[in-house]
């Protein structure tokens, strides 16, 4: 389909106006994002070595959690069973990052069915939520922590229902047995780790909650020292009830009533009806090809899978294999691809149950090829505008659909509402955790879970912390008179960057054969998760790095603002040559928590992020 001549001038002028307005908004947005703090910040780095196993492996953010998962695998459980046990323990030993008061996403490979399925446990906004939730009396967005701390930021927790749904459809062992490691540890106690202690020292708000204050702090207000044994009988009882009675005991009854009372007393409006009506969802994955690999991740309401696939699709038009990982040229190309993908993310991606996300158009190879042509080999884009997907109405002034046309590649139909979004502003902070598991049956789990900011909303109920995920919505519901796709609405799930990812290898000799599992990977890190995971994919699939080498490789990239280089690493030395290419460079802590497993000829190989306290363990 071609654009009629009488419409071409209108389309060109409209496109120019669209791009100029987007550039102005995006520059302001990028500058705002980069001035926000990173509350779950860096706590040191220690060298790690890859771990080799023959049959099965667990990689998680704490050794106690990894070992609990491996024990379940040894008892005959599968990857889903192990993930539940791991998450239960992480709720205790890494309480600042995830837990039953939050949510998450799970990407699962069923080896017997040769099928990838994803599970959505993202929190939802209360039905009483209004567009001005995070605006002050003058209509301006609240300061971040004015929005975070308290009940307004708490969304309906989805983690337990997600795990229950995945277990119902995929699990092997009894649900009750999977919670016993966490219950035992909660009763016996566990030592405070150096990372947890460091974050307690830094936090300004947690001790304002009396329950959290008595659990984490001494009477003089100082955090309990490293090595102090923390016992959590309240959480042990909650998990015991969930283990015996199922997840309904969390979403209704006395615990639900206490949870709601805590939130409402702290200024929130979540109700028993919100809890009781929550539904986890099984969704199809978003997948795409990269060289001879298939990469599968989480679709909306996470933007992670789609944005990573956009970056890879753009980068596939360049010879990355011919570049060194620590070269200015490699960092330049990777960062420019990030700018282009993040610019599309900022306007087109949100909860697809509320927003018509144009996934196929955003991943169209010709569209990404045209986007890649914006990248100059010697000069940075600075700030990239979103792609102009729609070209013209097919039905006149009141369109029901738009057509995106590409040179020599035909046209795609796009819902009209994708034209009307303004660019939103959301915090998305890096208090999250990631679990990678491959079992003896060949099944795989990549699961990323979160309570959003470090220690979430700082509200604690019966031994667990409640999330502040509603601050992942755009604080401003509209920009320049245009509604923001990621604005808050009743029952809506905030956009996420969590990027649990599975990679498969195509058989070059037999293209019709099902691709073979190659990797499970993911990370915490707020919106930088996307760059962290994409970096590991490029490092392993293009540069041939071992999974541990790829994870440890210094971070770099752009979220369509400054080009970010990891402080204290060799990559920071690239600041002068990148600035000579027009990059605005920011050297900063980039605190990932990448945990990955690759499949090789000898079995499984696990990598752990040296920036955190995780462990890869297998047999």
Give the residue numbers annotated as catalytic, written as ranges. 432
* Alpha-carbon gap, residue 267 to 545, rounded angstroms: 49
Q: Give the strand order in the sheet containing 585-588.
A: 556-558, 563-566, 585-588
Q: What is the 3-state secondary structure (H, E, C) of 438-478?
A: ECCCCCEEEEEEEEECCCCCCCEECCEECCCHHHHCECCCE
Of 141, 142, 124, give the one whose Cα is nearest residue 478.
141
* Alpha-carbon gap, residue 486 to 477, rounded angstroms: 8
What single DSSP character describes residue 495? Answer: P
**Cα pseudo-dihedral 391, 395, 400, 406, rounded to 10:** -20
List residues bridging with 479 in a β-sheet.
482
Q: Distances in Å between the alpha carbon of 97 and those of 64, 195, 250, 320? A: 15, 11, 20, 34
* Alpha-carbon gap, residue 471 to 126, rounded angstroms: 13
- CB distance 340 to 371 below 8 Å: yes
* Alpha-carbon gap, residue 534 to 309, rounded angstroms: 9
End-to-end CA distance of the chain: 57
What is the pairing mode between strands 563-566 and 585-588?
parallel
13, with CB counted inside 10 A (0-12, 13-18, 19+), is exposed
* Alpha-carbon gap, residue 250 to 157, rounded angstroms: 10
What is the pairing mode between strands 392-393 and 431-438?
unpaired
What is the pairing mode between strands 501-505 and 293-297?
antiparallel
* Alpha-carbon gap, residue 78 to 65, rounded angstroms: 16
- CB distance 375 to 311 below 8 Å: no
Of 584, 585, 561, give the one whose Cα is nearest residue 572.
585
CA angle 547, 551, 555 (to 5 degrees): 145
């Amino acid at each position: 389909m071609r654009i009629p001549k009488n419409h071409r001038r209108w389309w060109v002028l409209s496109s120019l106006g669209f791009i100029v307005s987007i550039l102005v908004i995006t520059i302001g947005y990028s500058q705002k994002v980069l001035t926000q703090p990173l509350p779950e910040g860096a706590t040191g780095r220690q060298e790690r070595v890859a771990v080799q196993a023959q049959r099965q492996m667990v990689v998680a953010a704490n050794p106690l959690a990894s070992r609990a998962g491996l024990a379940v695998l040894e008892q005959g459980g599968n990857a889903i069973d192990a993930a539940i046990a791991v998450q239960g323990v992480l709720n205790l030993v890494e309480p600042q990052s995830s837990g039953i008061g939050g949510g998450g996403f799970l990407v699962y490979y069923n080896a017997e069915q040769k099928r990838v399925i994803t599970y959505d446990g993202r929190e939802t906004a209360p039905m009483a939520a209004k567009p001005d939730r995070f605006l002050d009396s003058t209509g301006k967005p609240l300061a971040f922590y004015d929005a975070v701390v308290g009940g307004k930021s708490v969304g309906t927790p989805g983690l337990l229902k997600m795990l229950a749904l995945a277990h119902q459809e995929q699990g092997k062992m009894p649900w009750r047995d999977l919670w016993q490691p966490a219950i035992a540890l909660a009763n016996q106690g566990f030592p405070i780790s150096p990372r947890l202690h460091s974050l307690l020292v830094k936090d300004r708000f947690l001790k304002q909650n009396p329950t959290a204050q008595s659990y984490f702090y001494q009477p003089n207000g100082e955090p309990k020292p490293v090595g102090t044994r923390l016992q959590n009988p309240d959480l042990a009882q909650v998990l015991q009830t969930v283990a015996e009675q199922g997840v309904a005991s969390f979403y209704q009854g006395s615990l639900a009533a206490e949870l709601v009372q805590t939130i409402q007393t702290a200024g929130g409006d979540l109700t028993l009806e919100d809890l009781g009506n929550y539904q986890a969802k099984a969704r199809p994955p978003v997948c795409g090809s990269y060289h001879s690999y298939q990469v599968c991740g989480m679709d909306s309401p996470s933007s992670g899978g789609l944005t990573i696939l956009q970056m890879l699709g753009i980068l596939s038009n360049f010879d990355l294999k011919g570049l060194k990982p620590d070269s200015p040229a490699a960092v330049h190309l990777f960062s420019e691809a990030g700018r282009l993908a993040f610019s599309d993310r900022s306007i087109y991606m949100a909860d697809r149950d509320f927003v018509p996300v144009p996934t196929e158009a955003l991943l169209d190879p010709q569209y990404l090829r045209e986007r890649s042509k914006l990248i100059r080999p010697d000069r940075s884009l600075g700030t990239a505008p979103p792609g102009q997907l729609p070209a013209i109405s097919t039905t006149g002034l009141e369109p029901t659909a738009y057509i995106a046309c590409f040179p020599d590649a035909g046209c795609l139909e796009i819902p009209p509402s994708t034209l009307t979004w303004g660019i939103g502003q959301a915090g998305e902070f890096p208090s999250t955790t990631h679990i990678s598991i491959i079992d003896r049956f060949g099944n795989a789990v990549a699961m990323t879970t979160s309570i959003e900011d470090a220690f979430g909303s700082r509200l604690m109920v019966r031994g667990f912390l409640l999330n502040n995920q509603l601050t992942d919505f755009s604080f401003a519901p509209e920009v320049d008179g245009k509604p923001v796709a990621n604005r808050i609405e009743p029952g809506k799930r905030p956009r996420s960057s969590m990027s649990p990812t599975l990679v498969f290898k195509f058989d070059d000799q037999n293209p019709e054969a099902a691709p073979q599992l190659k990797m499970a990977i993911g990370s915490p890190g707020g919106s930088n998760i996307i760059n962290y995971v994409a970096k590991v994919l490029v490092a392993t699939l293009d540069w041939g790095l071992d999974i541990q080498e790829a994870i440890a490789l210094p971070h770099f990239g752009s979220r369509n603002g400054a080009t970010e280089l990891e402080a204290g690493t060799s990559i920071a030395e690239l600041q002068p040559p990148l600035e000579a290419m027009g990059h605005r460079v920011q050297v900063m802590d980039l605190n990932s928590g990448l945990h990955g497993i690759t499949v090789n000829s000898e079995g499984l190989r696990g990598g752990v992020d040296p920036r955190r306290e995780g462990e890869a363990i297998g047999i």
